[in-house]
Chains A and B, each alone.
Chain A
Amino acid sequence: MADITFVDVTLRDGNHTYKHQFTSEIVGKTAAALDAAGIDIIEVGHGDGLGGSTVHVGRTPEPAINLIRAACGAVKNARIGVLLLPGFGVYRDLEECKDAGVTVARVASHATEADTTKQHIRKASDLGMFTVGYLISVGMTDPKTLAEEAKKLESYGASYVNLAESQGHLVPSEVAERVRAVRNAVSIPIGFHPHNNLGLANGNILAAIEEGATYIDGSLKGFGGGAGNAQTESTVAMLKRAGHHVNADLTGILDAATVFADLVAPYPMPTIDNNSIMMGFANVYGGYVLPVRRAAEKYNIDPMALIMKLGERKVVAGQEDAVEQEAQALAAAR
């Protein structure tokens, strides 16, 4: 049975759900609870990672480095991680994080654009961080291409390659063929980050582990883009039931889920609503669930039509402007 390193992304991906409004208090208390539960790596920051606080995606109420410092100050054993999308974050952000006590950097690109991560993987490695290559939207490409991209990440010095299925589009057999292709191409470990649009997050994790994935992402209460991530507390329980080893203990992680839920209450938890299902079905990036809802309300258009337009246009992560443009076009055509 597999030895799993658990990466909780509540305080990073979950910020999408919370419109990037997490405060130092929410971050500090949640990180402390995750640490107490035995989570290995806690990822913190704006939903789009370092440099993500923008007009384009959403501005954080306080500098993101404050959140990161709050997390670093709150943990005893867990490692604090950050996400960096080259084109958003810059070297200075990594240096600032290093000084704050961050030891894990996950450097991300769209699944087919791994060579945009080379500079920042090297920079994070040079800073002595545990550096991860992170491919977004792996369901938008085929297993063979994914394997080639993973090889590039390995060649840049990534310690493991994380496969993020950002749309919640894939079914377990499709996840399995992607992880298998990557496993046959690289010798570094593989991680998996599912979304739950079709209710398959946990099932897809089992399929990924079956093919050799050993790093697993989840978030408390499923807080994350789209219909949310795998729900950390249920994933921990599932992994234990399936006989896999995970450091986190069940009681501790259930407590952490309660701590977090109380901190963000009465904010609505992510659910598999109709928009999320359609986005999973049409393979549209989950981070757009709130921008789609907002634009549909503002321009009084059918969100389903907007989602289908975005699917046809094959938007990738970070194209929030396309949501606005397509919504205006639909409103004008009405």
Chain B
Amino acid sequence: MTDTTKRFRAAIVGSGNIGTDLMYKLSRNPHFEVVLLAGIDPASEGLARAREMGIATSSNGAEAVFEDGKIDVVFEATSAYVHRVNAPRYELAGIFAVDLTPAKVGAPVVPTVNLAQQGNVMNVNLLSCAAQATVPMVHAVTSVAPVSYAEIVATVASKSIGPGTRDNIEEFTYTTSNALAELGGAGKGKSLIIVNPAEPPILMRNTIYCVTGPDVDIEAVRRSVHERVAEVQKDVPGYNLVLEPFVREDHIMIAVEVAGAGDFLPKYAGNLDIINAAAVAVAQKRLIGATA
């Protein structure tokens, strides 16, 4: 255990689904003290929850972060447009920023893939919930077999994605697609997102297709995928393989479902957990890893 007396002062900007869920997760973490949840809608459910928990709130967006003056880490869960404006200001103020939008200002990190290589940067990008859920699988396959093309389909419950994500479908698609190649190790990548309004809401489901050619060593792929699933489960216990890797024509098909811890939204919203678990891991590595 590292020095738990030092609690880093964390601010969350964005009081939607992701920001509010993160507030619960960080509040349970001994290394962080959530000192602010900032949104833009004073009537938002997230801000009301923060007030109940005794956490300061603001409906003036990132401004409250700068007014505070002593924030160690800011988690931004607004939209790509907003983060592009705020990112240089955080940097100027010397605040480490964890970007949960698909703005991709800073270097992208997917914990089981490249957290160890994360340097002392001031801005880390977490791509998208779909990338956090699928890049580990693509990377598990490319670790044992060359993949010329990887494609993923993230199917999420309508209730689990808020207005920020809906306003960023372009960035979400583009950023996730690139991550499959850049971090996943595939020759090329493409991502699809499907929003399903079924009631009761469906668990976040991700299908991963990796074009490997038909002669791939599927047993090696299975081992690699199972090991990776176990690794992801350490931070996200609801991450489960629901379709064992199998060969179909020229590609491998894999599917994982992600059940959440049910902190803000019920457990169907595993998309919140997968990106927020990554946010916590990245902040710990940068702040505690450096001081430990």
The chain A residues found within 8 Å of chain B, CB to CB, are: 51, 54-56, 86-88, 90-91, 109-110, 112-113, 115-116, 118-120, 123, 140-141, 313-319, 321-322, 324-325, 328
Contact = CB atoms under 8 A, between A and B. Distances in A.
B251 interface: yes
Task: List the 9 shortest-distance A-B pairs measured between CB atoms, nearest first.
Answer: A314-B198, A321-B207, A87-B193, A55-B209, A86-B169, A318-B194, A112-B197, A115-B166, A113-B195
Contact of A112 (B155, B158, B163, B251): B158
Nearest to A56: B153
Q: Which of B155, B167, B197 has the most CB of A within 10 A?
A: B197
A321 B196 CA distance: 13
A110 B190 contact: no
Contacts of B243: 321, 324-325, 328
A325 B248 CA distance: 13
B192 interface: yes
A319 B170 contact: no
A310 to B, nearest CB: 11
20 contacts: A55-B209, A56-B207, A87-B173, A90-B174, A109-B195, A112-B158, A113-B166, A115-B166, A116-B166, A116-B169, A141-B197, A316-B196, A316-B198, A318-B153, A318-B155, A318-B194, A319-B196, A321-B207, A324-B253, A325-B255
A86 B161 CA distance: 14
B238 to A, nearest CB: 18
Contacts of A318: 153, 155, 192, 194
Interface string B159-193: 00001001111101110000000000000001011
Given A86-B173, A91-B170, A110 B253 contact: no
B53 interface: no
Nearest to A87: B193
B199 to A, nearest CB: 8
Contacts of A112: 158, 197
A88 B196 contact: no
A97 B199 CA distance: 37
A313 B203 CA distance: 12
Given A115-B163, A325-B242, A328-B243, A314 B196 contact: yes
B contact patch SS: strand
Contact of B194 (A87, A119, A314): A87
Interface residues of B, number: 34
A87 B197 contact: no
Nearest to A324: B253
Given A87-B195, A317-B194, 6 more contacts: A51-B192, A54-B192, A55-B251, A87-B169, A113-B166, A319-B155
Given A56-B209, A118-B166, A325-B242, A113 B197 contact: yes
Given A90-B173, A115-B163, A56 B196 contact: no
Nearest to B194: A318
B169 A120 contact: yes
A54 B190 contact: yes
A165 to B, nearest CB: 17
Given A112-B158, A113-B197, A324-B253, A119 B192 contact: no
A119 B163 contact: no
Contacts of B195: 87, 109-110, 113, 116, 316
Contacts of A325: 242-243, 255
Contacts of A319: 153, 155, 194, 196
A90 B173 CA distance: 7
A88 B170 contact: no
Contacts of B202: 313
A118 B167 contact: yes
A315 B169 CA distance: 20
Given A54-B151, A318-B153, A321-B255, A120 B170 contact: yes
Contacts of B173: 86-88, 90
A110 B251 contact: no
Interface string B240-273: 0011000010010101000000000000000000
A119 B167 contact: yes
A314 B155 CA distance: 13
A54 B209 CA distance: 10
B135 interface: no
